[in-house]
Amino acid sequence: MQPTSGLVLVVEDEDPVRRYTVGLLVELGFTVLQATDGSQAIDIVKERHHELSAMLLDHSMPGMSGEDVLAELEQAGLRIPVVLTSGHDVADLRRRFAGHVVAGYLQKPFRIETLDVTVRQAIARSV
């Protein structure tokens, strides 16, 4: 695996999934911030969007969904590479999020190799 770096925000309401994802990203060389819901994610992005390399965003969360988070960030003009994570089929997600800027999709459960490639590609597209 190629070395990677950057600051990644992981937005995931399920604690075990968030801890797993954070652990993999740290192993890959990223610095990681965490949010447990959409409103916390928006607050972090508003404060630190200039530092963020990418955001992994769970598409289905209680309260604000991933789609709600994307819409609010887009409305505020805050653009960072977003990788949607979901247990749903990627083709369905692409149709559902067609109106939003999404840099990549990860279907859960994912392996470290898939996470590595997807996050690096998302960051590279934004540079």
**What pLDDT, in 10s, does the model give residues 27-47?**
999 999 999 999 999 999 999
82-122 confidence digits (pLDDT tens): 999 998 888 888 888 887 889 999 999 999 999 999 999 99
The DSSP letter of residue 12 is -
- Does the pLDDT of residue 127 top 80, yes or no? no
pLDDT at 29: 95
Per-residue tokens: 22: 């954070």
**Distance between CA atoms of 15 and 13, rounded to whole angstroms?**
6
How many CB atoms sit inside 10 A of residue 78's CB?
14
What is the widest separation between alpha-carbon atoms in the chain? 37
Strand partners, 56: 10, 83
Is the distance from CB of 81 to CB of 55 less than 8 angstroms?
Answer: yes
pTM of this prediction? 0.92
2-32 confidence digits (pLDDT tens): 445 799 999 999 999 999 999 999 999 999 9
Give every CB contact of residue 50 below 8 A, 6+ residues apart in sequence: none
